[in-house]
Amino acid sequence: MDAATVRERASDLPTEPGVYQFHADDAVLYVGKAVDLRARVRSYADPRSARIRRMVERADALEVAETDTETQALLLEANLIKRHQPRYNVRLKDDKSYPLVQFTDHAVPRIEVTRDPDDDATVFGPYTDKGDVETVVKALRETFGVRGCSDHKFANRERPCLDHEVGLCTAPCTGEISTGEYLDDVESAKRFCRGETGVLADPLRREMEAAAADQAFERAANLRDRLAVVESFHGAGGEAVSAAGGDGDDYERHVDVLGVAIDGDRATVARLHAEGGQLVERDRHRIDVPGESEGAGGTVDAAEPVPAVLAAFLVQYYAERELPDAVLLPEPHGDDEVAAWLDAAGVATRVPGAGREAKLVDLALKNARTATGTRDASRELAVALDLDAADRIEGFDVSHAGGTAVVGSNVTFVDGSAEKPDYRRKKLAEGNDDYARMRELVAWRAERAVAGRDDRPDPDLLLIDGGRGQLDAAMTALDDAGWDVPAVALAKREETVVTPRREHDWDGDAKLQLLRRVRDEAHRFAVQYHQSVRDDVSTVLDDVPGVGPETRKRLLGRFGSVENVRAASVDELEGVDGVGERTARAISERL
């Protein structure tokens, strides 16, 4: 796989967290995680080491799996590395595992944090923050009294141990609690681990409020901190890569999760596969969606295409493959014949409404939607401006202080999201002429693109921060360079979209909101760069006694330019933080 192929493949990837795999002859060469899949994969066009360069050259395919969070990407990467043992993941072959919570398979189960669970235990996880896991397990033990002692310590006791004295165990070992009552408490602890946060959070909150009422503020503060960990525990993202369902025993099951996205006459079905409670595979499949979809049990109304797609996929995909133990769906497939076939094969089908299974379905839907094309706002914008597409938009703005420290920004949005690796900025010629500076900025981008000196793809649309004058200046630069890219302008005050031929008043709809985001980001990026450049510019203020770099920064930040500082009165100068009467008079006299 050469550099051009890597860049081309990367350009189609989302800017979301996820995991990527390089393949060669169906073997996995390398697995990596990314906060931004597109940017991370693009970096392999210019590898930083000879080893990675050899890997990229050997690779003939690339596969990615999108996740909701960086935590999910981290855990999925670990699972895939353990599963495939890729040759080039040499630094990760330390067999590191992540903490799990297990309830042992004893007549009187114990709870413990482990990285190597027992074969017959009920296990939850994995999780990434061992400290949070230990905090939660301690809270579970204090609330429900589940033992954490070893079998040796548990056996043949005549009186309760210290754990009972400090409130960590209800002492089933000596009959302080009946076995039935103890197992009920264990089940409550398992319910929390399955995602029912309130089972533990509610009693902790009541205890915290009681401690506060008794003015036991230190204990109330400790309970508050513990409650915060408990309430955020199931939202941290780690549990979403576990396929545990309604029962803790689901940890050992094979589960497939399906998500469907419809785009015109095509549908994408994303399939997530979990083994032993860990998400290990993801793939996507395209399906044609005719005007009426024929399912296994008859014709399905075209107004309800998702059930028809699910029914068709279930039959066609699993007819020649091993069926999982359970399939999670975003909505019922509605086909009696498919349901009878799956039921006969012992496959459970569920449409989860909440908990970890619902999170997995949401993740499958997100993966499916990623493949359906551009976002609605981009599509609406393209239609309104009569463009082939508006997926990639570049925004331009100029910032200066009275003609000094003049800079320009060039930001990029792809599918409505900021593409920060493709941001650029440029110092421009001094001068208080916004039109000339905009022409210079756009000409710089256009000339680099035409000469092949800009490694970014051509955008579908340029957005100029300003009105008719700035747009005309940009169009002149485009014509002079011979760069055939459409451009529009958006001013801050009127919020009117200006095109070369007319103006649009879209009154805050989705396509205008998209242009606003690009415009505002271009402005922010330009102002940020201008401030850093301005701080480095030597001015006549530097010769004024009592004015150092920080005072100069505050003066220019307040008045915008040296000329405005010169025009300010002594009273106005004294209004700047750090400028006293003597310094104010010195500034006024010197300038």
| Per-residue pLDDT tens listing for the chain (591 residues) | 888 999 998 998 888 888 999 998 878 888 888 889 999 999 999 887 777 888 899 898 898 888 877 767 766 776 777 677 787 764 333 334 567 888 998 889 999 988 777 777 888 766 766 778 888 898 899 888 899 888 888 888 888 888 888 888 988 998 888 888 899 889 888 888 877 777 788 888 888 888 888 888 888 888 888 888 777 776 543 444 443 343 444 444 789 999 988 766 667 888 888 876 666 677 777 776 654 434 443 333 444 678 888 888 887 788 667 889 999 998 888 888 788 888 888 889 998 876 677 778 888 887 777 654 434 678 888 889 988 888 899 999 998 888 888 899 999 998 777 788 889 999 999 888 999 999 999 999 999 999 989 988 899 999 999 999 999 999 999 999 999 999 999 987 778 999 998 998 887 677 888 898 899 889 888 887 887 676 554 456 667 777 877 787 778 777 766 777 888 888 888 888 888 888 888 888 877
Bond from prior residue into 324 cis (ω within 30 degrees of 0): no
pTM exceeds 0.75: no
**Rounded to 5, what percent of the chain is helix, strand, coil?**
45, 20, 35
Fold exhibited by the domain 538-590: DNA polymerase; domain 1 (1.10.150)
CB 483 within 8 A of CB 357: no
On the question of a common fold for 379-534 and 538-590, the answer reads no
- Tokens found for residue 401: 């202080």
Instruction: Give the pLDDT score at 558.
Output: 77
Instruction: Report d(CA 195, CA 1) in Å as an integer.
Output: 43
Residue by residue, DSSP assigns 19-33 as EEEEEETTEEEEEEE
Nearest by Cα to 393 from 407, 374, 372, 370: 374
Nearest by Cα to 494 from 503, 486, 485, 502: 503
Instruction: Report d(CA 310, CA 258) in Å as an integer.
Output: 8
- Tokens found for residue 30: 């390398």
Q: Tell me how crowded residue 94 is: count the other CB atoms within 10 A of its CB.
A: 7
Fold exhibited by the domain 250-370: Nucleotidyltransferase; domain 5 (3.30.420)
Is the domain defined by 379-534 classed in CATH 3.30.420.340?
yes
Which run of H or of E encompasses 394? strand 392-401
What residue ranges in 277-353 does DSSP mark as E strands?
Answer: 278-288, 293-295, 298-300, 326-328, 348-350
At 475, the amino acid letter reads M
- Tokens found for residue 437: 């500076």
Q: How many helices (DSSP H) and strands (DSSP E) are in the chain?
A: 21, 21
Which run of H or of E encompasses 353? none
- Name the one residue in this structure whose structure tokens are 């002149």: 476
Beta bridge partners of 113: 101
CATH of domain 3-92: 3.40.1440.10
Locate the domains of the chain by residue range: 3-92, 100-241, 250-370, 379-534, 538-590
Instruction: Give the pLDDT score at 549.
Output: 73
According to DSSP, residue 388 is labeled S
Burial class of residue 308 (count of CB atoms within 10 Å of its CB; 0-12, 13-18, 19+): buried
Burial class of residue 370 (count of CB atoms within 10 Å of its CB; 0-12, 13-18, 19+): buried
Torsion region of 17: left, alpha or beta (phi above 0 gives left; psi -120 to 50 gives alpha): beta
- Name the one residue in this structure whose structure tokens are 């209004």: 575
